[in-house]
Amino acid sequence: MSHDRQLTPRWAPQIDAVFVASTLAVCLGGALHRRRLVAAAKPLALTAVIARSVPDIARNAPLDRALLTGAAVFSLAGDYLMYREEFADDAPHRRPATAKDSTPRGKDDWMRLGALAFGCAHLSYLGLFGRRGGRLSSRRILPRLAVMGEPGLLVAAARPALTPVLGPYGAVLSAMSAMAADPASAGECSSSGAAATRLRVGGMLFVISDDLLINRRHLLSGRRRAVTEAVVLATYFGAQRLLLPTAAGAGVRRRPARTASHPR
């Protein structure tokens, strides 16, 4: 019998139910700006994605396993930091800096740290896709850089102090999304097409989510801002659900098929 399939946890239906329910809850909480609802639901959604991926992560080669774990851990950190950004004071933090009291509280501070964390997650994916044969091409990366260029200009005009972090972050995200669109990044699953499609769509959803996030913050208000926040969260969690489990499953070490023995 062949062992080609990805591992699916016995509790996969329950994990998927938690993911769907928590994603719907966090989208509603984000649209209504309900901090307690977002605080309760947001960690559950990403934890469900990671739980779905753990069996396959464990069956990857050691370096791939480390890169996948890095993508998951840095995503968890970025998820928390961006939650803090959403509910922080909009004004830049101006309290006196002391050695004992250096926790950032302004939106810009949390966004800077969130971008650094997610940037590390994207770099983990870049390393993973590169090891599997994925390559960057101008045909794939230039359109993504153009999409991320718009929020980059917006940040440069409204919050220039963020540009040294968000500018490189946009480039790293564009590169990750472009390499995810290379079918070779799906490794041994690239011939099936399904895994390659999930990675490509996941990478594009991440670009769309971050583009909308910056526009929501600086250009929108009222009902349009609320609706956009729900779309930001939905596309973000959709990207996570497509990227991590697919990347983990695509690197599962295959076992050779058993050959039936025949009596002589």
User: Residue 135 falls within a domain, yes or no?
Assistant: yes
What does the pLDDT read at residue 89?
Answer: 77
* Tens-place pLDDT, residues 192-201: 689 999 999 9
pTM: 0.87
User: Residue 206 falls within a domain, yes or no?
Assistant: yes
How far, in Å, CA of 182 to CA of 131, rounded? 13
Lowest mean pLDDT among 100-114, 172-186, 209-223: 100-114
User: Residue 98 falls within a domain, yes or no?
Assistant: no
Span 233-258, average pLDDT: 84
User: Residue 173 falls within a domain, yes or no?
Assistant: yes
User: Residue 1 falls within a domain, yes or no?
Assistant: no
Contact 210, 165 (CB under 8 A): no
Question: pLDDT category, 121, cuts 50, 70, 90?
Answer: very high
Q: How many residues does the chain have?
A: 264
Residues 6+ apart with CB under 8 A from 129: 176, 179, 180, 182, 185, 247
User: Residue 171 falls within a domain, yes or no?
Assistant: yes
DSSP letter for 182, please: S
* Tens-place pLDDT, residues 3-50: 334 556 678 889 999 999 999 999 999 999 999 999 999 999 999 999
| pLDDT, the chain, mean | 88
Element (H, E) at 116: helix 107-131
Lowest mean pLDDT among 12-21, 68-77, 254-263: 254-263
- How many domains are contained in the chain? 1
Span 94-117, average pLDDT: 73
User: Residue 2 falls within a domain, yes or no?
Assistant: no
Query: What is the CB-side half-sphere exposure of residue 23 using CA atoms within 13 A?
Result: 22
User: Residue 37 falls within a domain, yes or no?
Assistant: yes
How far, in Å, CA of 118 to CA of 71, rounded? 8
What does the pLDDT read at residue 253?
Answer: 60
Q: The domain containing residue 70 runs over which residues?
A: 12-90+105-250
